[in-house]
Structure 1
Amino acid sequence: MAQLKYYYDLMSQPSRAVYIFLKANKIPFQDKPVALRKGEHFSEDFKKLNPMSKVPFVDDNGFILTESVAILKYLCSKYKVKDHWYPQSDVKKVARVDEYLNWQHTNTRLNAALVFQHLLILPKMTGKGVNENQLNKFKKGVKETVSSLDRYYLNGKPYLCGDDISIADILGACELMQLRAVHEEHLYTENPTVLAWMGRVREKLNPEFDSAHKFIERTRDVYPHIKANL
């Protein structure tokens, strides 16, 4: 049987989530790193595999699957991982996970990603300063997201969707960790509930969690001026 091929860049939040899941569950895969910063995802060879020109994606013996949520669900089903990751045996538990997975696209993912982009990616691409109005809009969005994580999703539970970790927790934590690269982690660390949850997720997933986030810590060290200029 051909081994699963995984195409990713660890600077991408969803890429890290799938990478950590694969490692944590000891699912064998062929490493296929893609350097987004070099534009490798726009090459003709890449587009032949994935016309979307995005990561992550998997190639499972010719079956190409994009989108991190779809990939994680597929891996849960194919490799029959422990039920807590995506508890399909319980209709209500799996509905809770799906609830977060659908909500996160325009909340955790959108807001944290755009804070990162407005502080680092867009200024580098355009040569212009930070658009403070847009940045403040998305920082406010992160704060509202963190409040929802605290009051609705966690709400006295150790993990977003219940008593054990799920794919929702990996995705959520990876999105918030992106804020560390631009010195904006205070947007979630100031909330004790969310900070404690992040700690539990990290502890549960280490050493894979820290290993996958080395690029984030490196970026943080390379761009200390981002914090100084705010």
Structure 2
Amino acid sequence: MSLKLYCDLISQPSRTLYILLKTAKYNFEPKYVKLAKAEHYSEEFTTQVNRMQRVPVIDHNGFLLTESVAIVKYLAREKIIPESLYPVDSKQQARVDEFLEWHHIGLRLHCTTYFRVKYMDPLFGKKMEEDQLAGYERRMVQALDVFDKKWLGQGTEFVVGNKVTVADLFAATELEQPRMAGYDPKEHYPAIATWAKKVQAHFNPHYDEAHVILNKIVKKQQSANL
């Protein structure tokens, strides 16, 4: 069997799948697609890999699949990832799915948008008024408040219970993204900081491996602001 993962580790869901496959000790081939160089818009990628021009994508013995949540569910059915991370039990699995459904609009939309307007857009010469930028930050903070109080504030150790699942990994990689734009959720939310440390420890060394590029960008940004 062969599995290829088309990804860019600057992408949150790409990092999630990379870490997940590494944790599962599954033999896969990373196929890096450089988003900064618009390789996902190339004719080859569009026609042969993903017509939607996005990563991540998997190629599992010729079966191409896009969308990170769909990929996780497929990998679980194929027994590629541990049941502990995506439970077989119907109710436990439903709780994980409940978070993954909320995550797209509830968390990812706001963290990703803030990262894009604060960090990415200026790289391409796009400028935004301070009051507009403040609005994006406010919406992201509101999303973080919900995550902090209504997901982590339910008396459990992790997002959907007392065991790590893919829900935690999706959330953790997402909350790394605004760090590149100068906002680290862990510095503002003690509960998030405690939870994130546990998630990182669970998935290490692969978690740190997947975030090498991101951490270099963060360090470079911090040095530039000194």
TM-score (norm 1): 0.91
Cross-structure match for 2:77: 77
- Superposition pairs of residues 107-118 of structure 1, within 5 angstroms: 107-118=106-117
Following superposition, the deviation at residue 80 of structure 1 comes to 5.0
Per-residue CA shift, 1:101-138, capped at 9, x if unaligned? Answer: 0111112111111111111111122x243332332222
Deviates more, 1:71-80 or 1:161-170: 71-80
Q: Which moved more, 1:208-217 or 1:71-80?
A: 71-80
Q: Quote the Cα distance in structure 2 between the aligned partners of 1:12 and 1:128.
A: 21
Deviation at 1:164, TM superposition (A): 0.7
SS of corresponding position for 1:31: strand
State the partner residue of 1:200. 198
Are the counterparts in 2 of residues 57 and 66 from structure 1 also a CA contact under 8 Å?
Answer: yes
Deviations along 1:36-84, whole A, 9 cap, x unmatched?
A: 1111111111112211111000011121100011111111221253322
SS in 2 for 1:53: coil
1:7 maps to what in 2? 6
CA contact (8 A) 1:107 1:142 kept: no
Q: Counterpart of 2:130?
A: 132
User: In angstroms, what is the RMSD of aligned CA positions?
Assistant: 1.7
Contact 1:143/1:188 (<8 A) preserved: no
Cα distance in 1 for residues equivalent to 2:215 and 2:80: 33
Distance in 2 between the 1:123 and 1:99 partners? 35
Opposite residue 172 of structure 1, the aligned amino acid is A
Is contact 1:173–1:201 with CA below 8 Å preserved after alignment? yes
Residue in structure 2 matched with residue 171 of structure 1 by the alignment: 170
Aligned residue pairs, count: 224
For structure 2, list consecutive stretches of 5 or more residues without a partner in the other structure: none
Q: Which residue of 2 is the match for residue 94 of structure 1?
A: 93
Q: Report Cα offsets for 1:156-206 as digits up to 9, x if no partner.
A: 211101111111111100010012212200x34321111111111001111
Q: Report if the CA contact (8 A) 1:57-1:64 is conserved.
A: yes
- Contact 1:159 1:165 (C-alpha < 8 Å) held by counterparts: yes
Instruction: Say if 1:189 and 1:86 are closer, same or farther in 2 by CA, change over 3 A.
Output: same
The equivalences for 1:216-227 within 5 A come to 216-224=214-222
- How far 1:224 sits from its partner (Å)? 3.5
Partner of residue 31, structure 1: 30
2:122 & 2:224 partners in 1: Cα distance? 11
Deviations 1:3-37 (A, max 9, x none): 11110000001100110000011111112111111
- Matched-pair contact (CA < 8 Å) for 1:8–1:34: yes
Q: Would the aligned equivalents of 1:118 and 1:131 in 2 still touch at CA under 8 Å? A: no
Map of 1:56 onto structure 2: 56
Identity over aligned residues, as a percent? 37
Q: Which amino acid aligns with 1:36?
A: L
Distance 2:85 2:132 in 1: 35
Distance 2:21 2:115 in 1: 25
C-alpha distance 43-80 of structure 1, shift in aligned 2 (>3 A): closer
CA contact (8 A) 1:183 1:227 kept: no
Letter in 2 for 1:55: V
